[in-house]
Amino acid sequence: MVDKKEPLLEVKRITKKFGGLTAVDNMDMQIFPGEVVGLLGDNGAGKSTLIKVISGVYHADAGEIFFKGKPVRIGNPMEALKIGIETIYQDLALAENLNVYSNIFLGREMLKKFLGLIKVLDHEYMLNESKKVLDQLEIEVPSLRNKIRTLSGGQRQAVAISRSIYWDAKFLIMDEPTAALGVVEQKKVLDLVRKLSSQGVPIIIISHQLHDVFSVADRLVIMRRGKKIAERITAKTTPDEVVGLIVGTLPGDYDNINNN
């Protein structure tokens, strides 16, 4: 962990309602450079809704977001990407029928002039650039010319992460990155998370697999019914305590405090 003083990202008093239901309720959270934060809570606690507010998918009904100390308006997903907030959802948003390097450049393809006139896709360039980013992250895939659908779940996850890193992610959010993976692949994705944070990219990771979160996260933020109910330094808590906080058999930190 680097500079602990100034958060890279801060959300203050974020509230998001769907009709009469308050999915995220007055939520505060800070993420510091190079930090991995585990965002935990039972199904329906509001985790995905909160990260969708941060990544511009939903508009908050109230509250503010600060990036590097400055208030930012994230009106849509493109605005989040421009700031450098990359989000990897469970479905990964990869094109099954395109190869690895085309997926890394998906929607941002590189063109070159052909015979000085017509613009064509610069496959050579995209292939070489993709190779560089995969090497940097020590990711192995059989061939960058292989279609995504021929890859394993872990390799796909790695391609999605590479894409975010190539496009200069300043901040990565991963919603259930290991849910659909085998044990060996889970370990590889977690190694990748550690590597990214060691390169200074802070990460919010949502996962139901507590041992995964305990193995990568520096800090844990626990939500219940839309609210942040506790925060823990990973090294100073236990899975038992965290489960108690998630399900509500242990009281949250703010339960008996008014207006916290």
User: Which tokens sit at 199?
Assistant: 């390169």
Tell the smallest beta-carbon distance from residue 147 to Mg ion (Å): 29
Q: Which is nearer to Mg ion, 126 or 175 (CB)?
A: 175
Count Cβ atoms below 10 Å from residue 170 Cβ, excluding itself.
16
Kindly state the number of chain residues that form the binding site for ligand ADP, as judged by CB under 6 A. 11
Return the residue of 48, 130, 178, 207 that touches Mg ion, per CB under 5 A: 48
Residues 118 to 177: which contact ligand ADP by CB under 6 A?
Answer: none
Instruction: Name the nearest CA neighbour of 99 among 150, 29, 160.
Output: 150
The option from Mg ion, ligand ADP, none interacting with 45 (CB < 5 to 8 A, set by class) reads ligand ADP
Neighbours of 46 (CB within 10 A): 24
CA distances from 39 to 152, 191, 220, 231, 255 (A): 26, 18, 6, 10, 19
Residue with the two structure tokens 């872990």: 154
The single-letter code of the amino acid at 160 is: A
Q: Whose CA is closest to 192, among 182, 178, 209?
A: 178
| Per-residue contact flags (x/-) with ligand ADP for residues 18 to 47, judged by CB under 6 A | x--x-x-----------------x-xxxxx
Of the two residues 100 and 223, which places its CB atom closer to ligand ADP in the complex? 223
Residue ranges in 2-21 that form contacts with ligand ADP under rule CB under 6 A: 18, 21
Q: Which spans of this chain sit near ligand ADP (rule: CB under 6 A)? A: 18, 21, 23, 41, 43-49
